[in-house]
Structure 1
Amino acid sequence: MLSRAAENLFWLGRYMERAEATARMISMGQRMATLPGSMGQSEWTSLLQATGAPAPEDRPVTEADIVAELILDPVSPSAVQACFSKARENGRAVRTALTQEMWESLNEDWRYLESMDTQAARRQLDHLLEWIRKRAAVFRGAVETAMLRNEGYFFLRLGSNIERADMTLRLLNVKYFLLLPETEVVGGGRDHHQWMSMLHAVSGLRAYHHHYGGDYAPWNIADFLLLNQTFPRSVAFSYSQIHGCLDRLDKNHGGAHKCQRTAQTELGRLTRLDINAVFSDGLHEFINDQIATTARISKEVSDAYHF
């Protein structure tokens, strides 16, 4: 496969995953903002901080800012509209590698958001966030049910899982940024509901309950999102998929690359790691280190396949 085509499919996977994850993060911010004792703007500010999007310096962050910056901005790398637009551009460049259903999904997503303004989006925000999640699921279903399991598929899935690992880490960072101005003791009622909001954001409440029962301790929820090897949105599971995709690509190309060795090392570390050690050393520090490692793997993939 040409390097340019591999790059297009890799970033198509990343942008579609980012669009969905951003919608999930906004839903989490909504849920946190409605908790008793919430300051409102703190939750919205934490979302912008976690995604790396700019926040206004002269006033509190509002829901309107979130809609404008994280949903409807046509150029911000954090915004859903920009992600859908860039996903479509990448898909158009490799049109023959996509199924008809994949291409139709990309077109519908882009057109729907292009004509929407901030006021309309705010009026139907819950519906809009649900629509974004469903559209991402439609695209993913088209990929899984009809796309050939060739190099193109594995580059697309590689991008998706790198982005998923990164966004799950950033979702956990929302909680950290939210705690910075807090005076409430960690472990209080509001703290508990904020952690629960994370499970809702990843559609993981039932899966968590199946694995951990009714114990919603923060370290168990962090363990579920970081180290659980069976939940599809955990960092450890995403790394297992990253390593699997790289393994298939390297077999096709007849040799291992640095990115594969890095992914294998990190997967082994995540498999052996204990969540108590993570909390002891600092959850935020661990998350930031893992975000940097995930970015490094992405760069190593680009270097290996000449993006």
Structure 2
Amino acid sequence: MLSRTADSLYWLGRYIERAGNNARGLQVALRMASLTRDVAQRDSAWRALLIASGCEPGFRETGQVATQETVVRYLAADPSNPSSIISCIEAARRNGRQVRTALTVDMWEAVNETWSEARRSTQQTFAPDNLPVFLDWVKSRTVLFNGAYADTMLRDEAWRFVRLGTMLERADNTARVLDVHHHALGGTEEDGAVGYLQWQAILRSVSALRAYHWVYHSRLEPRRIAELLILRPELPRSMVACYGRIEETLDGIAASHGGRKGECHRLAGEMHARLRFGRIADVMAGGLHDFLTATIDRNLELGRQIQGFYLQA
């Protein structure tokens, strides 16, 4: 497969996943804002969302204050933000169009129809009363795309590069969501109504609230939330599950290239092993924030290594 084709497939997966992650994050922030009376706490929730999405540096350059109106606009529709939902949909469609023949009919229709509908959005689409409908629509479209490529693609290189992009983006998002709320999980904040809302917000941000109750059959506890999202392989968005799929996918790509491997394979295997054999007691004892920050940094390095080994012509 040509590296430019692999690159387009990889970024198609990443951009679709990013759009869905931003939609979930916005939904959770809206819920937190509606349940929190204190204005400072509401604004703090919006700033936390910017940090979790990796968009805080770009937003800061705009000179705006992090409020519901400004953050919603920046993360949902701002064309100057390459990670806004609308920008992600545009980029996903652009990448999909470049590799149209590598996609199944269902995949292309999912991407193209999403793009067509997104183009019809107006300022009213992002008004407070209409925003929840838009965010639900974005989530449903990303689920549709993920289902289309899971159910209709041959398990060949094209499928592997879409999956690789999806899983790398998903792992990064889970780590960032946990990191931005690490104080609420590390025992440095008092347990109370606000703390409980934050614990719910963490789980809702990765669609794992019901999964938590199914696995633990108990009330929310910070340590168990961290364990679920970091070390439980049965949760599709846990870090260990994502890195397991990344390692598996990279091994499959290597096998189709005569077994040739690079630093990205070593790094993915190391990250997966660290999580697979890790214990939450050790993670918490060593500092949750330090652990997550190191993981985010290594995830960025993994992305660079994949880009250099497979995706650069």
TM-score, normalisation: structure 2: 0.91
Aligned twin of 1:66: 71
Instruction: Select 1:193's aligned residue among 175, 193, 197.
Output: 197
Instruction: Select 2:130's aligned residue among 124, 132, 146.
Output: 124
Q: Distance in 1 between matches of 2:70 and 2:182?
A: 21
Structure 2 segments unaligned to the other structure (5+ residues) = none
Aligned twin of 1:27: 27
Aligned twin of 1:44: 46
What is the CA distance between 1:135 and its match in structure 2?
0.2
Amino acid aligned to 1:20: G
Aligned twin of 1:81: 86
- 8 Å CA contact retained: 1:19, 1:83: yes
Matched, 1:295 2:300: yes
Aligned twin of 2:249: 245
Aligned twin of 2:17: 17
Change (3 A) 1:56 1:194: farther
Amino acid aligned to 1:79: S
- 8 Å CA contact retained: 1:85, 1:110: yes
Structure 1 segments unaligned to the other structure (5+ residues) = none
What is the CA distance between 1:94 and its match in structure 2?
0.4
Q: Distance in 1 between matches of 2:150 and 2:42?
A: 39
The range that moved more, 229-238 or 210-219, is 210-219
- 8 Å CA contact retained: 2:10, 2:162: yes
Aligned twin of 1:214: 218
Matched, 1:155 2:161: yes
Residue 158 of structure 2 aligns to a residue whose secondary structure is: helix
Q: Distance in 2 between matches of 1:298 and 1:59?
A: 30
What is the CA distance between 1:176 and its match in structure 2?
4.2
The range that moved more, 246-255 or 35-44, is 35-44
Aligned twin of 2:235: 231
Q: Distance in 2 between matches of 1:267 and 1:20?
A: 24
Q: Distance in 1 between matches of 2:30 and 2:223?
A: 23
Q: Distance in 1 between matches of 2:263 and 2:196?
A: 41
Matched, 1:204 2:208: yes
What is the CA distance between 1:143 and its match in structure 2?
0.5
- 8 Å CA contact retained: 1:68, 1:118: no
- 8 Å CA contact retained: 1:164, 1:233: yes
Amino acid aligned to 1:66: V
What is the CA distance between 1:117 and its match in structure 2?
3.0
Q: Distance in 1 between matches of 2:138 and 2:27?
A: 11
Residue 35 of structure 2 aligns to a residue whose secondary structure is: coil
Q: Distance in 2 between matches of 1:24 and 1:177?
A: 21
What is the CA distance between 1:196 and its match in structure 2?
1.3
Change (3 A) 1:221 1:178: closer
Identity of aligned residues (%): 38
Amino acid aligned to 2:142: A
TM-score, normalisation: structure 1: 0.92
Instruction: Select 1:141's aligned residue among 147, 151, 159.
Output: 147
Aligned length: 303
Q: Distance in 2 between matches of 1:139 and 1:58?
A: 35
What is the CA distance between 1:17 and its match in structure 2?
0.5
Amino acid aligned to 1:14: R
The range that moved more, 61-70 or 226-235, is 61-70
Query: CA-atom RMSD, angstroms?
Result: 2.0
Amino acid aligned to 2:225: I
Matched, 1:165 2:171: yes
Residue 34 of structure 1 aligns to a residue whose secondary structure is: helix
- 8 Å CA contact retained: 1:22, 1:80: yes
Q: Distance in 2 between matches of 1:233 and 1:301?
A: 21
Residue 218 of structure 2 aligns to a residue whose secondary structure is: coil
What is the CA distance between 1:78 and its match in structure 2?
2.0
Aligned twin of 2:266: 261
What is the CA distance between 1:258 and its match in structure 2?
1.5
4+ long deviations beyond 3 Å: 55-60, 176-179
What is the CA distance between 1:295 and its match in structure 2?
1.1
